[in-house]
Amino acid sequence: MSNEPLVKMRGITKRFGGVTALQDVDLDAYAGEVLAIVGDNGAGKSTLIKILTGVYQPSEGEMFLDGEKLEMASHSDSIDQGIDAVYQTLALADHLTPAANMFLGNELTKRFLGIAVLDNKRMKSEAARVLDERLGVRLRSMDVPTDSLSGGQRQAVAIARAVYHDDLRVLVMDEPTAALGPQETARTLKLIKALREQGLAVILISHSLDDVFEVADRIHVQRRGRGVGVVHTADSTVQDVLGMIVGAHDVAA
Ligand SMILES: Nc1ncnc2c1ncn2[C@@H]1O[C@H](COP(=O)(O)OP(=O)(O)O)[C@@H](O)[C@H]1O
Ligand SMILES: [Mg+2]
């Protein structure tokens, strides 16, 4: 972990009409770490990461990537800056192959008799390479519809699509294990660790404190739109974090 945060969010406030979803939130994320964001329903977790990924614009506050101010009008701006997200509701086209999904909207082409045609062979080999080299995943066949894969493999395809961009630096995952069984969850946590080893900043939203304590280096706790604290996983317990989520310490104070 380097000393300067790769991502800095400062004083982020977001209002939807009369609803204040976020109030003056600061967040730091470092290259080579997994930062978890936890909090009850409605605490502002998804809104916070939608701001980081350009989906929403903050009402107030500023963001920096590697010290440079981030200005994003849309999610494609965040992808251009090396910030992408994988959502629980995976936007995969079920009937297409893993390679077709990975390159959807970004197809590789080759020239044939002077005309640009899809380079299916190269998309397939590139997809297999990224799955293997970056995520340690080898599919039995690349020539199958994506809906024939397991939940964990589908997750890997969605992650591969994001990490294929060589300049990806920050990957946000919103509840990546929510729909998965225990074995698939373990595999997904392994993928997350592999991405951390590759130097990405991984930001993980999860309801599962088991997953969070297994994989995160630090935990940012949101409560009712506010950031109420950040702890190092190594120095804290599930009980400590639960207390912060529900505000037990406020009552005691
Ligand atoms: N598009 C929206 N319009 C109005 N209110 C919203 C919108 N998105 C989120 N909110 C409100 O903002 C608050 C935070 O929501 P959200 O970020 O989804 O929380 P979490 O992901 O922690 O469950 C909630 O009160 C929610 O109802
Ligand atoms: Mg949410």
* Ligand number with the minimum distance to the CA of 44: 1
The span from the CA of 88 to the CA of 176, in Å, is: 5
Which of the 8 DSSP states describes residue 70? Answer: P
Distance 42 CA to ligand 1 centre (A): 5
Tokens representing residue 37 in the block: 């964001």
Per-chain mean pLDDT for the chain: 92
Binned at pLDDT 50, 70 and 90, residue 253 comes out as very low
- How many A from CA of 45 to the centre of ligand 2? 5
In sequence order, what are the residues at sequence separation of 6 or more whose Cβ sits closer than 8 angstroms to the Cβ of residue 112? Answer: none
Pocket test residue of 12, 14, 19 for ligand 1, highest count of atoms within 8 A of CB: 19
How much distance in Å is there from the Cα of 101 to the middle of ligand 1? 29
Residue nearest to atom 16 of ligand 1 (CA): 44
H helix and E strand count, the chain: 9, 12
Ligand closest to the CA atom of residue 50 = 1
- How far is ligand 2, taken at its centre, from the CA of residue 64, in Å? 23
Strand partners, 156: none
Q: Whose CA is nearest to atom 25 of ligand 1?
A: 42
Q: How far apart are the CA of 213 and the centre of ligand 2, in A? A: 19
Q: Which residues of 109-144 are buried (b: 16+ CB within 10 A; e: fewer)?
A: eeeeeeeeeebeeebbebbbebbeebbebebeeeee
Domain boundaries, the chain: 1-82+169-253, 91-167
Atom 18, ligand 1: which residue's CA is nearest? Answer: 46
What pLDDT, in 10s, does the model give residues 74-106?
999 999 999 999 876 567 888 999 999 999 888
Question: Quick one: fold of 1-82+169-253?
Answer: Rossmann fold (3.40.50)
pLDDT score, position 90:
63
Q: How far apart are CA 88 and CA 85, in angstroms?
A: 10
Pocket of ligand 1 (CB under 6 A): 16, 19, 21, 39, 41-47
Q: Is the pLDDT of residue 155 over 80?
A: yes
Which position has the higher pLDDT, 8 or 105? 8
pLDDT digits (tens, 9 = 90+) for 207-249: 999 999 999 999 999 999 999 999 999 999 999 999 999 997 6
